[in-house]
Each structure stands twice: as structure tokens, then as C-alpha cells.
Amino acid sequence: MVDEVDNRPRQCHQARHTLKFFLDTTTCLTPGRVIGGSPPSILKLSRRGETTITKIISGDDVGYSALIRRMLNLNQLHPQPQPSTTDPADNVTVITPVFGQRLHPHPADKSINIIVVDDGSTPPVHDATVRLDRNFGPAAARNVALTSVTTEFVAFVDADIDVGLDSTWLTTLLSHFDDPEVVAVAPRVRSRPQQGVIGYHERHNGALDLGPRPAVVRPGTRVSYVPAAALICRVGAVRAIGGFDDDLRTGEDVDLVWRLHDAGGTVRYDPSVEVHHEPRASFAEWWNQRVGYGYSSAALAERHGDDRLSPLVASPWSLAVIAAMTATKRPSVGVAAGLSLIGAATQQLRQRAPDLTVGEARKIVIRGTQAAANALGRAIRRVWWPILILLCPISRSARRLLAASAVFAVTPMVAADDLAHGVGIWSGVIKHRRFGPVIPVLRRSRPQPGSRTP
């Protein structure tokens, strides 16, 4: 419900100039406080901090400060992207691994250095810069090209990604690197409109589409990773962590982003810039893609810990509310019990954060419960449905949870998407004997300490 500020050590750099910022849609301002973000957090403001917030709302340029950094890291605040003065032609190298066929040519701007790596294609890719004698996977192909990069930035662009006719996407995203703590930035990757069931599903529920809201990317938040389908990085930061993990055929981008984060860098997601990718042509190809995504979970859990791959991370209060509403025979009794638990959770939150009003605390509790319910539905559809099916003959709650999760899938393709992902998860879990990706994690709410923010 409410988490502490991320207090990991970060590089002590100063940004090159002041920037414009805007508040996240979840951010709520009350006298002396900022509430919201991901994870939801509370910051208590000094008078100087309130002045800074007023400038942000007014659209004035604001310099980086402790308050700005904390709000950025909590997804309460985002930088307003501006066209960068960095010339992509002199500062960016584009790397594209290809296995089979490159569906989209690169922009006509020939001044940008482009490395196309043929990852063992048959027949060979005609315009490849580098050819590998067999297929090693996208991670290894990118690493091979990375050794010859001499520019400050590298843009990884997959073979099925259309970045447009010019380098506008680069110049916009490069502006984020005016903040020296930023080591990687990703645009929004949307599926190109196509006819048919798969085309419609991909356009509205694409696996690479992380939504319309900007974010700092880190585990446990609403944008916990970004794909390397289109990703700009500082070359030095990627080399410092050893590049991509060659042993990962899928999930190598998640692994890279998490290692960049763990090394103290900031990764941003900027949906104001959109690129497009081609959806899979057939249901079989689409299904295999989703299974592969799920399969990577166990390998990622081995590298980064089970908690980051858990299908459900929620507070005991949220789960208690959901259980109360589904476990009773009479719906009215369940609703009454759930409302009582929400009231109790609200009071407990106010004890930990006395500055909150009853309404503010209740809103935070309800939002947390709604998020937990959505996450629970997806966890059931992806990994727990076999267990619930076995329990259905003897448990009314199991039947209700299974039915509710299916209803909230909205469309059959969403359910199929989760099912395919779950098949991959269980396959990886059984092979690697790493069960974190199927085990829930209880997280206790911790309000932001009441110290004043400068």
C-alpha cells in the first residue's frame, strides 16, 4: 500500500541544466504532503519543497534536488522530454540482431552508424555487417556488435521494429541522458495495426507494450522492466556490467535492465515516443513466443532472486479483504467483512502515518486492494489455475476465484495469453527446480518516515 523511499546508494552527479517536470497521474498533493507513485509513498514537504512543487505545477524549469530525485525514483514525478542537442550521427550506434529476415529497414539517415548482426541466418542476410556461423541468440549477437562500438550511446533495435523514417525517436529519448544518472531509456513499443484476432489482441494487449504512463524502471513497480526491442543505453554502463547474458535466449533484456538498476543506474520508460513491431503471423508462432517469455522466469529467478519473479506481491491486508469477500456463502456478509477490514487497515495506516486524513488513508488502502485483486486474477490465470481446478469440487472459494479470474480476463485471447505464459513458467520451474515464479510474496506496508523533505 505505502512503501519507503528507495534509499539505494546512487552516483553523486549533477544534471547539466534545469528541466521541466510533470506530476504522475497517481500523485496527490495535500498541504505539506505528496502522496502516490509506484510503489505508493508519502513525502512530507518543507516550505522550500512546497515552493518547488508550485514551480513544477506552473511549468517552470526546476533543478535537481533531493526532493526531485526522491519523487522521480518513486514515480511521483517525471521529466518532460525535450529534443536533445546530442547529434545521433556522432554519438549513437544502432545494433540490430537478425535471424531470418529483417522486416523493417533502418531510417534513411545514412549518417547514423548501424551494425546489423546476422545471427546464423539461412540464407545469409544480404546487408549484414557481421555474420555469425550459427545461431547464438539475440544476447550474444548484440554483445558481438557491442565490442566494436565507439560512440557514447548504443541503440538496440530488433529486426521486427519500425522506428520511423527519421531519427526523431533518438533525439527525443537522448534528452533523458542530460541526467547523468540515467543509463538507459526505452520508448513505448506498440504492435502495428493488423487484421484478425491476433492483430487486435496485440494492439491492445501487446507483450512489449508497457502502457501510456512514463516511469522509472525498477523491480516491484508498475514498470519493472523494459524490452530490448528498442532500447538506448550508455555504452560504458552496459560494458561495466558485462553486456547481455549470452546464456539467456529469452529474458536477456529483463536481466540487463535489472543489472543496470542494481549497479546504481536509472532506467526510464518514455511512452511519449512510440515505435512499432510486427505481431506474430500465426497463432502457433504467437503461442510459442508467449511460452518462451514465461519460460525465462525461472532462469531470471536464479539470477535475481525469487521475490522479483513472484506471480503475486501483496500486503496481508489486501489479501484478507479479497478472502473475506470470496470465502463467505452470502455475498452481503462478504462485502460487510471486506469493508470492515478496509476500515481496520485504514486505521492502522493512519497510526503509521499520522499526517494522513481518514479519506487519504482509505483511498490508499482501496487502491492497494484493487491492485492486489488484479494481480491475483492474473496469477490465477497464469500459474495457479491447475491447483484451483483440483480444489473446485471441495471449495466454494476456489470456484469463485477461478470464475472471477476468467471473467476479468475480458477476452478469450487475454486468457490464452496468460495460459501460454503460464505453460512457459511451469516448464521453466520444473526444469530449473526454482519455484519462486509460482509462489506468492507477502509484503507489509511501510509508510515513508515523517522526516521533512528539503
CB-neighbour burial class of residue 391 (10 A; exposed 0-12, middle 13-18, buried 19+)? middle
- Specify the higher pLDDT residue, 7 or 352: 352
Q: What proportion of the chain, given as a percentage, has pLDDT over 70?
A: 91
Banded model confidence at residue 315, pLDDT cuts 50, 70, 90: confident
Q: What proportion of the chain, given as a percentage, has pLDDT over 90?
A: 53
Report pLDDT for 36: 87
Same domain, 162 and 71: no
Banded model confidence at residue 181, pLDDT cuts 50, 70, 90: very high
Q: Is 425 helix (H, G, I), strand (E, B) or coil?
A: helix
Same domain, 61 and 94: no
Does the pLDDT value for residue 148 go beyond 80? yes
**7 lies in a domain?**
no
**240 lies in a domain?**
yes
Report pLDDT for 85: 79
Reported as half-sphere exposure (CB side, CA atoms, 13 A), residue 308 has a value of 22
Does the pLDDT value for residue 1 go beyond 50? no
Report pLDDT for 13: 42
Reported as half-sphere exposure (CB side, CA atoms, 13 A), residue 404 has a value of 18
Same domain, 322 and 221: no
Cell numbers that stand for 388 in this block: 484451483
Report pLDDT for 12: 38
Same domain, 93 and 47: no
Does the pLDDT value for residue 60 go beyond 50? yes
Distance of CA 14 to the CA centre of its chain: 26
Reported as half-sphere exposure (CB side, CA atoms, 13 A), residue 421 has a value of 20
Kindly report whether the global pTM for this prediction surpasses the value 0.75.
yes
Rounded Cα distance, 325 and 221, in Å: 26
Return mean pLDDT, the chain: 87
Report pLDDT for 439: 93
Same domain, 156 and 233: yes
Same domain, 141 and 208: yes
Closest by CA to 439, choosing from 377, 372, 379, 352, is 379
Give the CATH number for residue 180.
Answer: 3.90.550.10
**306 lies in a domain?**
no
Of the listed ranges 103-117, 247-261, 300-314, 438-452, the one predicted with least confidence? 438-452
Report pLDDT for 130: 93
**433 lies in a domain?**
yes
Rounded Cα distance, 231 and 268, in Å: 10
3-state helix, strand, coil in the chain (%, to 5): 45, 15, 40
Of the listed ranges 185-199, 262-276, 439-453, the one predicted with least confidence? 439-453
Q: How does pLDDT run across 348-392, given as a tens digit for each residue?
A: 888 877 777 888 888 888 888 888 888 999 999 999 999 999 999
**9 lies in a domain?**
no
Q: What is each CA distance from 57 to 45, 60, 67, in whole angstroms?
A: 15, 8, 15
Report pLDDT for 11: 41
Of 59, 80, 101, which marks where a domain is finished? 80
Mean pLDDT for the stretch of residues 262-266: 96
- Residues 18 and 62: beta-carbon distance below 8 Å: yes
Mean pLDDT for the stretch of residues 83-107: 81
Of the listed ranges 8-17, 141-150, 157-166, 176-185, the one predicted with least confidence? 8-17
Q: How does pLDDT run across 37-57, given as a tens digit for each residue?
A: 888 888 888 899 999 999 999
Same domain, 398 and 328: yes
Which domain covers residue 259, as residue numbers?
88-279
Report pLDDT for 18: 58
Rounded Cα distance, 401 and 393, in Å: 13
**290 lies in a domain?**
no
Rounded Cα distance, 417 and 291, in Å: 9
Same domain, 275 and 330: no
**350 lies in a domain?**
yes
Report pLDDT for 106: 63
Which amino acid, 103?
L
Same domain, 224 and 357: no
Number of domains comprising the chain: 3
Same domain, 75 and 94: no
Report pLDDT for 419: 94
Same domain, 265 and 355: no
**396 lies in a domain?**
yes
Mean pLDDT for the stretch of residues 434-443: 90
Report pLDDT for 350: 84
Does the pLDDT value for residue 63 go beyond 70? yes
Same domain, 56 and 115: no
H helix or E strand, kind and range, residue 93: strand 92-98
Does the pLDDT value for residue 307 go beyond 70? yes
